[in-house]
A and B are shown apart, each in its own frame.
Chain A
Amino acid sequence: MTRCFEELAAGDVLATLDKGIITPAHIMRWSAAVENWHRIHYDQPFAREHDKLPDILINGSWKQHVLVQLMKDGLGPDGWLWKIQFRYKRMDVAWDALKGRAEVIEKREADGLGFVACRIALVTQRDELSTAGFAVGVLPLRGGRAVPYPFVPKPDYPVFTAPAD
């Protein structure tokens, strides 16, 4: 889905992303894909007894990629995710379900491009805040030039202030 800057306003939901229930198999698949052998992600007795965790943990590194995907998909193929920042607010464990949401909070034009600042979050099935953050995407203006790729930011591009979590 292509998107242009004028289609969005502050308060709009840019994107949602539902990853469903994350089982131990999902966590193991991610750990294997990135070759992360930390036992808190697949060895339940180690996680519980050694590290005193409630269960094996969903990897923070996986949650990062989900937030990036959330923004990338929301901006569409003509957009570019320029900046993202996030902080983990809780430890998510196996059998938690995670959903992402990106909401437009501010937009500005510069250099013939549209800059969209978003509040981003991952929440659990119990509406607990898992990960909170802020992102800036770049979109073409309606009828305007394409967002350059590779994206080389200029010093006078807008600076947005991240909201409180």
Chain B
Amino acid sequence: MDKAENYASYQGMEGAPQVAAMPLERDTLRRFVQAVMDHDPVYYDEEAAAASKFGALTAPPLYPVHAFRLPADVPDPLEAVARDANADGTAGIMGVTFGLPPIESPYRRLLNGGNEIEFYRSLRVGEKAVAHPRYASVVLKEGKSGAMLLVTVETRFTTESGEPLLLNRQTLIWR
């Protein structure tokens, strides 16, 4: 039977800061806001952005969570899809744990238990986001349908100079 002490060592564990491979570029931002269908001029109109509180072209508030792309010099994650019909295409993707060591457990089914986010400032064009992840909480629970592991990953996002951008607490449910 699984025990809470199996997970004690993960509680409060911090990961090394992860720096986005590339600074935010205008074209990346253009494609991103077109995909969100958010036409706020502070994302693409330099004059409007300069006159706004942002002072320069800026990304949507939650963009830093998506700023961590694969660098060009790593293996192609889609090679696995060509080799294995069961590969889901996520190999090598940083996911929501931003480099934290995976939690060893017998649970294989992952559900998103929700997010709580605080915003402080938006990422500007030319800036790189930095993710500072930690396991804020790892709790083993016994439910009606069996045991589950509730994991809250708390990730602070900053600029490279340390200015806070946002704080994201994401709860993952492993069953």
Q: A residues near B, CB below 8 A?
A: 19, 26, 29-30, 32-40, 43, 46, 50-51, 60-62, 64-66, 68-69, 72-73, 77, 80-88, 146, 149-153
Tell me, in angstroms, the Cα distance from A35 to B20 when the chains sit together. 14
Report whether A37 and B38 are in contact in the complex, using a CB–CB cutoff of 8 Å: no
Query: Per a CB cutoff under 8 Å, which of B40, B62, B120 touches A151?
Result: B120
Interface of A, helix, strand, loop or mixed by DSSP = mixed
Tell me, in angstroms, the Cα distance from A26 to B38 when the chains sit together. 13
Determine if B77 is an interface residue (Cβ-Cβ < 8 Å): yes
Interface residues of B in 73-113 (CB under 8 A from A): 77-78, 81, 85-86, 88-90, 93, 112-113
Determine if B23 is an interface residue (Cβ-Cβ < 8 Å): no
Residues of chain B lying within 8 A (CB to CB) of residue A64: 62, 115
With known contacts A33-B34, A39-B89, A62-B36, A68–B120 Cβ distance under 8 A: no
Query: Per a CB cutoff under 8 Å, which of A39, A66, A150 touches B88?
Result: A39
With most chain B CB atoms within 10 A of its CB, the pick from A26, A30, A152 is: A30
Query: Per a CB cutoff under 8 Å, which of A26, A34, A83 touches B117?
Result: A83
Q: B residues near A, CB below 8 A?
A: 31-32, 34-38, 40, 52-54, 60-62, 65-66, 69-70, 77-78, 81, 85-86, 88-90, 93, 112-121, 163-164
Report whether A83 and B118 are in contact in the complex, using a CB–CB cutoff of 8 Å: yes
Report whether A36 and B86 are in contact in the complex, using a CB–CB cutoff of 8 Å: no
Report whether A35 and B69 are in contact in the complex, using a CB–CB cutoff of 8 Å: yes
With known contacts A83-B116, A149-B121, A36–B31 Cβ distance under 8 A: no
Tell me, in angstroms, the Cα distance from A64 to B38 when the chains sit together. 13
Nearest CB in chain B to that of A28: its residue: B35
Report whether A153 and B66 are in contact in the complex, using a CB–CB cutoff of 8 Å: no
Tell me, in angstroms, the Cα distance from A106 to B70 when the chains sit together. 42
Query: Per a CB cutoff under 8 Å, which of B34, B36, B93 touches A36?
Result: B93
Query: Per a CB cutoff under 8 Å, which of A26, A82, A85 touches B119?
Result: A82
Report whether A85 and B117 are in contact in the complex, using a CB–CB cutoff of 8 Å: yes
B96 to A: closest C-beta gap in Å: 10
